[in-house]
Structure 1
């Protein structure tokens, strides 16, 4: 997945466009070699927000890309341009992986790529997407949805989550985490997390769980329970659950599982430890348990994941 094309036209949202350009258009400090070759594809010079943009290529270049990114579409009250819709459809038919950021999902839906699939978009527009395209199963409660060759994200910050998810799929967890640190964003938020949390988010280092997170991360090899976490945080299990939902958008056990899977990915990429050893080091207990959760979460068995990213790292 080396060539990434940004499919742009008048009316695109510059925030999501700039975010995708930042992730795929540069290789800070040589994180991976080769990195992506980025092409900005559009019909002509255009206005993106208050900026003038001149594409590198026309929309006819989209089918030559490995991955096509469709940034947010500003005016969801009207249909996206037919030439953009046709080009995105042609790219998918040619075998490209197609991902939308925020309201870019309306372009994918107009192209028929979301028919019969689960998808998401910015929470403020999920009702519109569902009403206009009834063949699409719209999920308003997640950060992003990965259908393999078609991916959609919720709005704004969730677009970064999907971009990092794509990097993780292509280059592995270690590279994605290093990139996230350079961009000063969270290294991994699972796509199933809630995209809209009614309680305001506290400052990163000034919330009731600030001390609990590093404590738990140092003890992933132990069979931690919700009661263990609550005891360490000096609160009841019920209050712990409320604070977890506020800060992370998920439950304590789901957060723990996500951290265990992340740690397993890093160990598979960077060590020769056996799957049994990694299961013990991540608190999964047995290789069978690790394989079950890893396969369900990542989409491939641990051994396949290790072979894939060890091969890519050697080639790089």
Structure 2
């Protein structure tokens, strides 16, 4: 049997071998691969979608609602969900959906600040303990053990209350910093174990032999190569920070009225939970959806890191 040029999809004068798929089919092939990947990991795709929507709410809330989240409308007090107000209105006539959308900025910003504080403080403590060892390691790790022995949320409340009593005034930033300091111990333990591993590597020994300073070695070699395992932990801590900051706002120790924040919205509707449940239901479901999404993304990142 003789193979014709049509079967080989090649030019008889072309010796470069069979051609690949037609260029116009490649975008379709990539799209089909993306669809197949999403079907196999539909939970991850849903989680990423939910978190992306929440992130877009925080960045460009005006694209999702035309209502002012703090504008009072006495003629629309406590209206149930409808075509005009998807999630109903609160006791001051403010659109609840708009307040949830704009509240994403405070919730996600506060949680991101808390995680950033936890990563920075925890990385520094863990790096110092793992690098110097001996007495320094013992002191730092005993301090971390003390912090971990105290319930984290209780410690965060204590820090915020002390701040309010000494410096005056509660707010989102003090609440985020308190949550970050409370979570730093978890990162410190993980970073310390990674620093102990990285410290014995050849490139670190070469840097020490070349006469590089301790600060330079930690900044250029040790800490950057110790942060990879913290990626999945960051996603977990982001979800925890969202819950804790919302809880602090619920107790009046976080964001303050009239600014919208998810925990504050739940607090505003608690007196009407028996008669107008939408005031607490929709903000609470939003918190649950975003936190579950971050947890699912964290589990996927952890699997990829282990591999």
More strand by share: 1
Bigger radius of gyration = 2
In the superposition, the TM-score normalised over structure 2's length comes to 0.25
Structure 1-normalised TM-score?
Answer: 0.25
